[in-house]
Amino acid sequence: MALVTVTIDDIKVEVESGTTVYEAAKKAGINIPTLCAWFEGGHTPGQCRVCVAEVEGQRNLVASCVFPVADGMKIHTKSERVRKARRLVVELLLADHPQECTYCVRNGICELQRVAEQVGVKEVRFSRTEFPEEGMIDRSSPSVVRDGRKCIGCMRCVTVCENVQTVSVLTPAWRGSEMRVVPAFDLPLAETNCVACGQCILACPVGALYEKDDVEKVWEALEDPTKHVVVQEAPAIRAALGEEFGLPPGTLVTGKMIAALRRLGFDKVFDTNFTADLTIVEEGNELVKRVKEGGKLPMITSCSPGWIKFCEHFYPDLLDHLSTCKSPQQMFGALAKTYYAEFAGIDPANIVVVSIMPCTAKKFEAQRPEMKDSGFRDVDFVLTTRELARMIREAGIDFTNLPDEEPDAPMGEYTGAGTIFGATGGVMEAALRSAYYIITGKIMPSLDIMPVRGLEGVKEASLDIPPIGRVKVAVAHGLGNARKLMDLIREGKADYTFIEVMCCPGGCVGGGGEPIPTTMETRAKRAGALYVDDSQVQKIRQSHENPSVIKLYKNFLHEPLGHKSHKLLHTHYTPRGTNIPHREN
């Protein structure tokens, strides 16, 4: 590419031709405000007009996020004309936006607030639109709430839903001032193909998309003296929760997280990592069984509920490829109300299971009709990382100064293999460690399986497992990448034995319930923290060596894939298809 020289606010910069004004300004040390642009997702529709700049010789102001520079171009980003225009644009947006900032879920992390401050809005000169809630707030989904009143029309959610996840539920509909972002036929979200991943929430610059908040229900359970409330936390929480309290991304806060949960009043603080290890033992044995007995291959992981719903909608013909293992969250719920109830001598009717998940789809999963194998609703309430942070703040807990505490027995102990479930490739790596042992009776030569780590969309690896021979595996994260592998299977071209799919980019550390902002960079840092937990913090790195898991089999389950396992730890799937409206039973 040819280099061109442009002058931005009297600063000369040399950039490749075709570079946008926005990028060139960045190179000159100038941050132009934008609202609609989501650069990581390649989404620069140039429609919010906040990023306008003045180019000499151009009659109109240009949208800097899309306007390409040319040699010798003179650009002004802080002239009076530019500043007035930006303010006007933001004032118009504010006039059409509910003024609920103080109690909005995005208060303090709202990009509209930040941009309004940045462009120096001091007043809104226009009369405000009335905001009837009627028909504008969609609370139908157990996972994601849509508040059309707050939408600023940036279309980032549409891009992530369509291009990254290839679910394509959301679309702009109607036009002009009547334009709204809605699911097809303006259906409630619960009646669509929405997989509840919540990536739209992470993409939204304002409070137009957010998780269904279940904090009050959890407070209520904690207040109820007749209830014994136990809590589990997914791997990805410990790698991200610190961000909510000002710690840098990638800070591992396992001990503080446990301490905070205890202070909130949970009777027992267990760990989803424990059932992650259990999942590996069950799933590893299932894989070995399928290989030995000629079962359906490739077998695909089933821990990610957004992925499961995606498969039920778009690949209902391939559901028998999915492992029958429940996710660690659901295994935990089923065991808490059976194994733990028995262990502690507590009536399971009085046990309340709360999950802390990086995930909005987990809220959906917990209320799937079949998830009550303990005789009760296995998991009662699911909170996202963000909701837990809100509870901790509400309780006035000084998170960063908490001491490190340990989880409770008998469902709190975990290994390095369990903790890496939270990163893309982690389940594959953990499963291979144990499958190798189950088949060969030996420990793998190296427990680090580097080719399945990292943020590449589809990863492949192969390894020798004597006496089976060469085993080929694949890992996908983000549903667009999963689709590539599923299409291969449909065409009969997938020669893999085992596939891991995680719904969200980066795996659970990039889940729709994680702290905002969640970018590719924060995803990588959170994953890094989990690999540190695996290799440096945990002494045991193979799931089948978890002493608490061994005890669970000895005292309760008796054997992997046995009768009790089958009843409590395995599940079935629902072919849903795409012919919405789909009504839940």
Partner 1 sequence: MKEERDELLKEFTPEQVAKLDEIIERYKSKPGSLIPVLEEAQMVLEYLPVSVQKRIANGLNLPFSRVFGVVTFYSFFTMTPRGRHTIRVCLGTACYVRGGKAIAEMLEKTLGVKEGQTTVDRRFTYETVRCLGACGLGPVVVIDNDVHGRMKPAKLKETLNNYQ
Cβ closest to partner 1, residue 148 vs residue 451 = 148
Smallest distance, partner 1 to C-beta of residue 129, A: 20
Number of H helices, E strands in the chain: 20, 18
Smallest distance, partner 1 to C-beta of residue 171, A: 4
**Which residues of this protein are in contact with partner 1, per CB under 8 A?**
162, 168-175, 183-186, 578-580
Query: Of 325, 323, 545, nearest to 433 (Cα)?
Result: 545
Smallest distance, partner 1 to C-beta of residue 167, A: 8
Smallest distance, partner 1 to C-beta of residue 314, A: 11
- Residues shown for the chain: 585
323 is an active site residue: yes
In angstroms, what CA-CA distances link 236 with 165, 250, 398, 528? 20, 10, 21, 11
Cβ closest to partner 1, residue 169 vs residue 461 = 169
Cβ closest to partner 1, residue 468 vs residue 580 = 580
Q: Please tell me which residue in 54, 233, 365, 429 is annotated as part of the active site.
A: 365
Query: Of 408, 398, 354, nearest to 377 (Cα)?
Result: 354
As a whole number of angstroms, the distance between CA 211 and CA 170 comes to: 16
For residue 491, the tally of other CB atoms under 10 A from its CB is 8
* Half-sphere exposure for 349 (CA within 13 Å, toward CB): 0
- Determine contact, residues 249/514, Cβ cutoff 8 Å: no
Name the residue type at position 21: V
Smallest distance, partner 1 to C-beta of residue 168, A: 3
Q: Please tell me which residue in 233, 243, 286, 500 is annotated as part of the active site.
A: 286
Smallest distance, partner 1 to C-beta of residue 189, A: 12
As a whole number of angstroms, the distance between CA 384 and CA 398 comes to: 20
DSSP string, 401-435: GPPP--PPSSS----HHHHGGGSTTHHHHHHHHHH
Cβ closest to partner 1, residue 171 vs residue 367 = 171
Cβ closest to partner 1, residue 171 vs residue 440 = 171
As a whole number of angstroms, the distance between CA 368 and CA 365 comes to: 5
362 is an active site residue: yes
In angstroms, what CA-CA distances link 533 with 159, 251, 259, 393, 528? 34, 11, 18, 26, 9
508 is an active site residue: yes
370 is an active site residue: yes
Q: Please tell me which residue in 323, 327, 543, 565 is annotated as part of the active site.
A: 323
As a whole number of angstroms, the distance between CA 104 and CA 112 comes to: 12
104 is an active site residue: no
Q: Please tell me which residue in 362, 363, 459, 525 is annotated as part of the active site.
A: 362
Cβ closest to partner 1, residue 109 vs residue 187 = 187
Enzyme catalytic residues: 283, 286, 303, 323, 362, 365, 370, 508
